[in-house]
Amino acid sequence: MRRYAPLLVLMVLVLAACAAGPNPALGTPPAEGSAAGFWLGLWHGAIFPVAFFISLFTDDVTVYEVFNKGSWYDFGYFLGIVTFVGGSHGARSAAK
């Protein structure tokens, strides 16, 4: 376990660099047409654990994009969480 610690730290740092950006609700909204869609929702769902952890310590990072395109963003977000967070646990549990 000890030999995997540097790899784990590196993975956490890389994922932290991919966390969702600042909350635009705290400032001005983004430019017209730049609202988050399905693919960004999928990405935000995939990095949800890292973004959630970072959001506990700072108000600059949120786990959900406020300015999004509605249902498509929500669907991508849900799919990202289920696939990347819940899916790996389900596969691991089924393999035992």
- pLDDT of 91 > 80? The answer is no
Enter the DSSP assignment of 57: T
Chain segment 32-72, per-residue pLDDT in tens:
667 788 988 888 888 888 888 888 888 777 888 888 888 99
Domain ranges of the chain: 2-95
- pLDDT of 73 > 80? The answer is yes
pTM score above 0.85: no
Q: What gap in Å lies between CA 59 and CA 22, rounded to an integer?
A: 8
CA-closest candidate to residue 74, choices 37, 31, 34: 37
Q: What gap in Å lies between CA 23 and CA 89, rounded to an integer?
A: 29
Tokens of 21: 């950006």
- pLDDT of 1 > 80? The answer is no
pLDDT at 29: 61
**In the beta sheet, which residues pair with residue 62?**
none
